[in-house]
Amino acid sequence: MYNAKVQSRQQQEQEQKQQQETQASSQDNVVIGDSKDNIFYFVQVSDLHISTFRKASTANFYTFLSTALPLVDPAFVVVTGDLTDAKDQQLVGSMQYLDEWITYKDALEESGVLKKRNGTFWHDLRGNHDCFNVPDWGSKENMFADMSATKTPGFMFDVKTDYGKYGFIGIDACPKPGPARPYNFFGLFETPDMDSLAQRLSLSQGNNHTFVFSHYPVTTTMFGQTSTGASFADLSRSFSVYMCGHLHKLKWGLGDSLQAYQPTHFLELEVGDMKQNGLYRIMVVDHDMISFTDVSMPLTTIPPAIMPAHPDDAFVEEGDDHKGNSFSDPKPKKKKRPALGRRLPTNPIIVVSNPKDSRYLIPKHEPVNRIATSTHIRFLVWTDSQAPPPEYHEHMRKDIKIELRIDGQLHPNPSTFAGVHEHDKNDEEEFLPLYVSEWDAQKYNDGKEHELEVKVVDRYGRVSSSTTVFRVDGQRSDMKGGFAEWVMWANVALMLKALFTTGYLFVTLVLLILPKLYSLYLQTSPPPLPPPPPPALATKSSEYSDAPASPTITTTHGLVFKNGYEAWLDQKCRHLYRLSSTLSTVPSRNRFWNRFVNHTIHAHVLRFVHFSTQPVLFYSTLIFTLMLVTVPHFWGNFVPAAGDQGQGYFYLQGIYLPQAGGHLGGGLGAASVDHAGPDRVGKPLSVISGAIASLTGGRIGPSSSQDATEPIAGTWIPMADTWMSTIWTVVYDLVIFLYYLTLCATPSGYLYSPSNPHRLRPYHRTWYVRCLIFGIWVYRCCSVLMTAELYGPSVVWSGIGTWWLAVVGWLMFMVGWSRSRNEKDIISLRGGEEEGTMEVVEQTVDNESGMRRQIHQHVSYHHQHQEKIRLVASDWVNTKGVAQAEVEHDDESDEELDDGGEAVNGAYSEETKALLNGSSGASDPMDSEQALDAGMNKKRHQRGRRGKPAQSKPQA
């Protein structure tokens, strides 16, 4: 089966290639000269957003009908979606407003575009705003079916001329059904739609050019496959230009040129919106070379629009729609339609058709060799002087002024009019504002880019200019579109899936699973063997070792560890102490490495490993992480107009409506309803089936025969919006809160030396960081409430995000904002630490006793350390002769033992200090004896000053 598909596809490509070669060979003798033949043009406009509550967009549309269309007078107009705004006054909710659709329909009827050219002048498509809260094509909410010009989900028509045939295909990529906002940003083109598109393109074979129109750019559309397995990339080889809207030029100037030359050799062009920018596009096809320009209307001179009706002036009347469905619908009062407004002054509009801009060449579909053999520069100019308002007739000058410059040099040949004047057009000849100027193309055939500038001054002194980058050799130039070109070239829908998968695996594996596995490995492994003690102390301490040491306990640097994790933690703490205590002494060229790289990396490794040892924090985070990809995020009413049938589950891969009994099929031509929907719908019984459904265009799996497939109740809508929403959930609810919990759950005494100020006041405990985290938590809570306002209160009680926010809020308060309680929990979890260890962290460390307290913090990890001090002190007393074989537990000998313990502790401090300073090798035993003698003499002297007679130390 697969081989048959491949062979069929290869055969179609070969036939297509042969037809193109035949067509190209027959057209090689065509020369671009000064003829007015072999040229036509049309207009694209998009994103009207006619709104009941915001009148500026309506005013722009009225001005387009009253000023732009009469001036340009194209062959036809294509509107690529978002005819109405469908938003409420607060810009939160969404629904189809009858008043907006009446405004759109009345404007078309008032301007006369519906009857122009026998009803073939105006072609419109649905956008995502036209699908907000639309259950299916046959519902009364789908007002596009009654009040648009096309009245079908998509269109197809051909323009046949003496010089060729040109196909125009419009596709409807709206999700079916259409959820209410905000989960309705990405388009969806499934298997039935792909089959329709493939059929239309097969009928368009042999055309000079085929244009495809859609509201959604390719980058924001999820395309399925045809029944034969062909992808959109395979079908896109059959058309020349893909024209769309939807992105509104983005923001901050990032989308001024949303255009790209796609890898499958078609040109994708997104036009700016009419709503705010007042933009429309003129497309010119001259000798099969496609050129265009985007025109901005004079927004500052546009008067405010008056809506023909308003909901406040409407009353409810019972009735039946054209399909016989009974419903209550607001019927507007009869009002006189407002005039669209007078024609406004417009600057000259210029489109250069030859030489074509080399940044937009389509070598696979255009005869680019004609540029080199052309004899004339060709360009179209629209000015008010050609069809001015009557009141301006007395101010008209005789002619317009045109100036051409190539590479900054004035073109010597004059420009002459070669088209058809407005007053000369008839049924056989359309208005054509064509100007030509003779040139020598071979003069610029040097393999380099050149620049053509056309400057026009109309009869009223208004000036416009157009600059074209061209090459005569037929090679493409770099668009240099920057971020806008990258947006159109990339597949955002696919990138969202890749971004989520990468980020989710990083959080789950790197931040959670791997630290947990490593901590389990350390906790179940024995600690490393301690280094050998000094010979003198080892010999004397062994005399008092009556019982063999436990195999699970080891000592190093005076500390006792039960497993490898405690030893690893001690090693990490010592390493971080050395780094943090030497940050101010290292040279400036090495400070960055120590502070921001070395110390930061080791600190974060310790944080995440230590976080994994705390069951409440770790397992609550892990459970929420796994739930993001395995269970529904919440239950809501995604299509309120559908009632109970619009309720469903929000999954990572899409939305599942269990009570919806079918779907709308087909994106071209008439609508077809499949109540069983085995090719598209599926019940996501698990995350695996849901993922398969999303990746296969909504099908859980192919069926071997039609009879073997049982009808499945419900509708599965694969969407990219759900992936984007889950990405924000991972960023805010998982990454930020997880990182903050790891910071708070790790005591700062593990990371910083006593001399470091961050030990007592780390960054994450400052008031501004806490306010930031609290603000993010409040923002996420407001997001849940906002979603509940849109899709119903069930979002709150059924959402896993709601419960996670409650849990993580409690965890952050207990761990991050209740420090003493947190550190007591850390002590109880690790076991055996003394509360004095944490008290030392909170004390101010002075310069004289700072190092001793730091050593004491490590020495006091386990209670056994005090016993060791007493044993070694007893050994010292026995050696010096103060006590004999056994130590008598009277007051005097207890004081001697305490003195000996402090002396030994001081000696240990000196040795540990040497180790922290990087000294390698053990200290001399004689030095240890001298240190013990000095400590004991000092204590005896202090007791003598308190009134206690110091006992002389007998000689050994």
Cβ atoms 127, 85 nearer than 8 A: no
Task: Report residue 673: phi and psi, to 5°.
Answer: -105, 125
Q: Give the span between the Cα atoms of 514 and 806, in whole angstroms.
A: 27
Cβ atoms 664, 137 nearer than 8 A: yes
- Paired residues of 50 in beta bridges: 84
In the prediction, which pLDDT does 557 show? Answer: 55
Q: How far is CA 189 from the centre of its chain?
A: 21
> How many of the other CB atoms lie within 10 Å of CB of 52?
21
Q: Does residue 576 share a domain with residue 554?
A: no
Q: Give the span between the Cα atoms of 121 and 311, in whole angstroms.
A: 31
Cβ atoms 234, 7 nearer than 8 A: no
Residue with tokens 């010096």: 880
Q: Does residue 469 share a domain with residue 394?
A: yes
- Structure tokens belonging to residue 385: 């002087």
Half-sphere exposure at residue 917, Cβ-oriented, CA atoms within 13 angstroms: 9
Task: Report residue 718: phi and psi, to 5°.
Answer: -70, 130
In the prediction, which pLDDT does 842 show? Answer: 39
- Distance, first Cα to last Cα, the chain: 101
Q: Give the span between the Cα atoms of 278 and 216, in whole angstroms.
A: 19
In the prediction, which pLDDT does 651 show? Answer: 95
- 673 lies in a domain? no
Q: Does residue 519 share a domain with residue 479?
A: no
Out of 811, 842, 873, a domain closes at 842
Q: Give the span between the Cα atoms of 79 and 58, in whole angstroms.
A: 15
- 664 lies in a domain? no
Alpha-carbon distances, residue 327 vs 322, 331, 554, 745 (angstroms): 11, 12, 83, 60
Alpha-carbon distances, residue 461 vs 70, 436, 691 (angstroms): 21, 22, 62
Instruction: Print burial letters for 726-751: b (CB count within 10 Å at least 16), e (below 16).
Output: bbebbebbbebbbbbbbbbbbbbbbb
Q: Give the span between the Cα atoms of 611 and 815, in whole angstroms.
A: 11
Q: What is the gyration radius of the CA atoms in the chain, in angstroms?
A: 40
Contacts of 302 (CB under 8 A, 6+ apart): 59, 60, 63, 278, 341, 344
Q: Give the span between the Cα atoms of 401 and 398, in whole angstroms.
A: 10
Q: Does residue 518 share a domain with residue 483?
A: no
Q: What is the CATH classification number for the domain harbouring 232?
A: 3.60.21.10
- 652 lies in a domain? no
Contacts of 381 (CB under 8 A, 6+ apart): 348, 349, 350, 400, 402, 433, 435, 456
Cβ atoms 172, 127 nearer than 8 A: no
Alpha helices, H only, 396-549: 483-489, 492-505, 514-524, 535-542
> How many of the other CB atoms lie within 10 Å of CB of 902?
16
Instruction: Print burial letters for 72-93: b (CB count within 10 Å at least 16), e (below 16).
Output: bbbbbbbbbbbbbbbbeeeeeb
Q: Does residue 885 share a domain with residue 776?
A: no
Q: Give the span between the Cα atoms of 169 and 154, in whole angstroms.
A: 8
Q: Does residue 428 share a domain with residue 296?
A: yes
- 117 lies in a domain? yes
Q: Is 161 helix (H, G, I), strand (E, B) or coil?
A: strand
- 688 lies in a domain? no
Classify strands 77-80 and 39-45 as parallel, antiparallel or unpaired: parallel
Q: Does residue 498 share a domain with residue 478?
A: no
Cβ atoms 676, 712 nearer than 8 A: yes
Residue with tokens 């849901």: 690
In the prediction, which pLDDT does 882 show? Answer: 44
Q: Among positive and negative, which fits the CA dihedral 376, 377, 378, 383?
A: negative
Closest CA to 34 of 291, 475, 374: 374
Mean pLDDT of successive 10-residue segments in the chain (956 residues)? 49 56 58 92 96 88 92 95 91 90 93 92 96 91 93 93 94 92 92 94 93 96 93 94 93 86 95 93 96 90 61 42 46 55 87 96 95 95 68 61 94 92 78 94 93 92 93 93 90 92 94 94 80 55 46 56 82 80 58 69 90 93 94 93 91 89 41 33 42 42 36 74 93 93 85 71 83 94 93 92 93 72 44 39 40 48 52 54 43 48 48 44 45 55 50 42
Q: Does residue 519 share a domain with residue 432?
A: no
In the prediction, which pLDDT does 815 show? Answer: 82
Contacts of 217 (CB under 8 A, 6+ apart): 244, 246, 247, 258, 268, 270, 488
In the prediction, which pLDDT does 323 show? Answer: 43
Q: Does residue 401 share a domain with residue 455?
A: yes
Q: Does residue 883 share a domain with residue 737?
A: no
Q: Give the span between the Cα atoms of 430 and 422, in whole angstroms.
A: 8
Cβ atoms 865, 837 nearer than 8 A: no
Q: Is 17 helix (H, G, I), strand (E, B) or coil?
A: helix
- 797 lies in a domain? yes
Q: In this structure, which amino acid lies at residue 471?
A: R
In the prediction, which pLDDT does 825 show? Answer: 46
Classify strands 559-561 and 221-223 as parallel, antiparallel or unpaired: unpaired
Q: Give the span between the Cα atoms of 518 and 527, in whole angstroms.
A: 14
Task: Report residue 214: phi and psi, to 5°.
Answer: -155, 155
In the prediction, which pLDDT does 746 show? Answer: 85
- 654 lies in a domain? no
Q: Give the span between the Cα atoms of 544 and 636, in whole angstroms.
A: 73
Residue 373: burial class (beta carbons within 10 Å; 0-12, 13-18, 19+): middle
H or E element in which residue 794 lies: helix 794-798
Alpha-carbon distances, residue 410 vs 207, 417, 501 (angstroms): 39, 19, 57
Which domain range does residue 209 map to? 35-332+344-489
Q: Does residue 755 share a domain with residue 823?
A: yes
Give the DSSP per-residue string, 804-852. HHHHHHHHIIIIII-HHHHHHHHHHHH-S--HHHHHHHHSPPPTTTHHH
Half-sphere exposure at residue 153, Cβ-oriented, CA atoms within 13 angstroms: 26
Q: How far is CA 271 from the centre of its chain?
A: 22
Task: Report residue 233: phi and psi, to 5°.
Answer: -60, -35
Q: In this structure, which amino acid lies at residue 753?
A: S
Task: Report residue 760: phi and psi, to 5°.
Answer: -90, -25
- Paired residues of 328 in beta bridges: 318
Alpha-carbon distances, residue 322 vs 96, 139, 145, 319 (angstroms): 18, 11, 11, 10
Cβ atoms 689, 700 nearer than 8 A: yes
Q: Does residue 885 share a domain with residue 816?
A: no
- 930 lies in a domain? yes
In the prediction, which pLDDT does 564 show? Answer: 84
Contacts of 734 (CB under 8 A, 6+ apart): 507, 621, 624, 625, 628
CA angle 765, 771, 773 (to 5 degrees): 80
Considering its fold, how many domains does the chain have in total? 3
> How many of the other CB atoms lie within 10 Å of CB of 567?
20
Closest CA to 662 of 644, 679, 647, 681: 681
